[in-house]
Amino acid sequence: MLDVAALTDQLEAFSWSEVSRQEALRAAGWLREQAARIRRRVESDSGDLALGRLRVRTLRLEKILSELAQHESRLQQARMDAAAEQMGPERAQRLRAELHDQLESVRGQLRAFHEEGRARKLYDDLAQVLRDLTERETRRGQLQEAERYRDLARRFEMRLDAGEFDAPRPPEEDERDRKVLEYFQELLDEP
């Protein structure tokens, strides 16, 4: 996975604007969640771990963060040049406005990335519950039931990794899927 700390050091994020720093911290939080999710999956015996979609999303995040850093650096340089009077005030103002617009566009991409992740979280949780049910039934010796949950989890994760749940979904589908998650969670909570 992307090493956010190294990227942050490399890109001198300490000089970023507060808004960009907060967006980068949200991105780091998403990466930590994904790392924990992968760790749980690797530690369980619930089957294969498909990382294709996660790799694509991580590479996309890396690209957005790199663009954010470039725009922050260019804006910082424009401010320093204007302060050192290396360019006229009108030109400096136009350049800063143009760079700020570009920076805001990249921040928008990052916010969209986070929104996709928020929309997908329900489905990540459902996949985890199905894996947990598989483990529980395996421990209980209910191998047929465990295989049923394993198959459900595998099919569901294939859809997840294909990006089927990345975009925000209509509220009625979201509510229906929440009820499905609650149903499986109740099954998991049964003694």
The CA-based dihedral angle spanning residues 126, 127, 128, 129, taken in that order and rounded to the nearest 10 degrees: 50
Closest to 153 measured CA to CA, from 75, 52, 44, 78: 44
- Mean pLDDT lowest for which of 18-32, 135-149, 167-181? 18-32
> Hunting for tokens 């970023």 — which residue is that?
16
Closest to 96 measured CA to CA, from 171, 166, 88: 88
Higher per-residue pLDDT: 170 or 92: 170
Per-residue confidence (pLDDT) for residue 49, from 0 to 100: 58
pLDDT level of residue 179 (50, 70, 90 thresholds) = very high
Q: What percent of the chain has pLDDT over 90?
A: 12
Task: Give dist(CA 118, CA 99) in Å, integer.
Answer: 29
Identity of the amino acid at 39: R
Average pLDDT over residues 62-74: 84
Per-residue confidence (pLDDT) for residue 45, from 0 to 100: 52
Tell me the per-residue pLDDT of 104-159, one tens digit each, with 9 for 90 and over: 898 888 888 887 777 778 888 888 899 889 989 999 999 999 999 999 888 888 88
Q: How many helices (H) and strands (E) does the chain have?
A: 6, 0
Higher per-residue pLDDT: 2 or 76: 76
Average pLDDT over residues 64-90: 79
Per-residue confidence (pLDDT) for residue 80, from 0 to 100: 77
Per-residue confidence (pLDDT) for residue 183, from 0 to 100: 93
Per-residue confidence (pLDDT) for residue 11, from 0 to 100: 47
Higher per-residue pLDDT: 102 or 167: 102
Per-residue confidence (pLDDT) for residue 50, from 0 to 100: 58
Per-residue confidence (pLDDT) for residue 141, from 0 to 100: 93
- The DSSP code for 16 is S
Per-residue confidence (pLDDT) for residue 1, from 0 to 100: 47
* pTM higher than 0.75: no
pLDDT level of residue 51 (50, 70, 90 thresholds) = low
Per-residue confidence (pLDDT) for residue 9, from 0 to 100: 47
